[in-house]
């Protein structure tokens, strides 16, 4: 049985919806156990026990969310040199860009020597005013389908031994 760990954080619900869509699709793959963990709850042992990873975060001020960064801070040295070559993908929920958060995750994953298996998926909500930025998000069906494809692809690759 392969294990896919999905670590997420969300302030307004967008990234949570994205992570859940990916997890639901990944769970349809036989031979793969999917763990969906909120970033504050994910521990080094969770990372070490997984065969692949999906990191899901909102972008805040051109960076990944602070609790997502906290997750990486807490697990980085415990995982360093112990998870080399394992596959990962990232998804970012952003108001207008998302590239900053995606780049941060990529740099951390490079340091952990993880293998990217898909380009970062960035979902743009177009929230630009303080009210829209702070409002609960509703991710549309098309974007949720793209998130599901990422989850399904990671799980299928793990199950088939491709990664």
Residue partners of 64: CB distance under 8 A and separation at least 6: 57, 58, 92, 100, 101, 104, 105
Which residues of the chain have a pLDDT value below 50?
Answer: none
Give one word for 80, left, alpha or beta, with left for phi > 0 and alpha for psi -120 to 50: beta
pLDDT digits (tens, 9 = 90+) for 97-106: 999 999 999 9
Q: Can you give the residue ranges of every domain in the chain?
A: 2-160
pTM: 0.98
Task: Return the pLDDT at 69.
Answer: 98
Give the model's pLDDT for residue 54. 99
Round to whole Å and give the CA distance between 22 and 155: 10
**What are the distances in angstroms from CA 44 to CA 82, 103, 136?**
11, 22, 30
Tens of pLDDT along 106-128? Answer: 999 999 999 999 999 999 999 99
Q: Please choose, from the candidates 44, 45, 69, 97, the residue with its C-alpha nearest in 3D space to the C-alpha of residue 55.
A: 69
Are 130 and 1 spatial neighbours (Cβ–Cβ below 8 Å)?
no
Q: Residue with structure tokens 């969300």? A: 10
- CATH class of the domain comprising 2-160: alpha beta
User: So what's the pLDDT on residue 27?
Assistant: 98
* Cα distance from N-terminal residue to C-terminal residue, the chain: 14
């Amino acid at each position: 049985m392969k294990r896919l760990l999905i670590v997420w954080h969300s302030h307004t619900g967008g990234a949570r919806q994205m992570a859940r869509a990916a997890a639901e699709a990944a769970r349809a793959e036989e031979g793969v156990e999917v763990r969906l963990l909120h970033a504050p709850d994910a521990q080094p042992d969770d990372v070490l026990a997984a065969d692949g990873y999906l990191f899901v975060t909102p972008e805040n001020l051109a960076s990944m969310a602070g609790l997502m960064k906290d997750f990486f801070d807490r697990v980085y040295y415990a995982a360093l040199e112990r998870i080399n070559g394992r596959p990962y993908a990232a998804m970012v929920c952003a108001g207008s860009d998302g590239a900053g958060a995606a780049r941060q995750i990529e740099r951390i994953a490079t340091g952990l020597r993880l293998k990217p298996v898909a380009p970062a998926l960035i979902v743009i909500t177009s929230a630009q005013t303080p009210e829209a930025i702070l409002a609960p998000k509703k991710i549309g069906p098309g974007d949720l389908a793209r998130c599901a494809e990422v989850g399904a692809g990671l799980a299928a690759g793990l199950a088939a031994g491709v990664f």
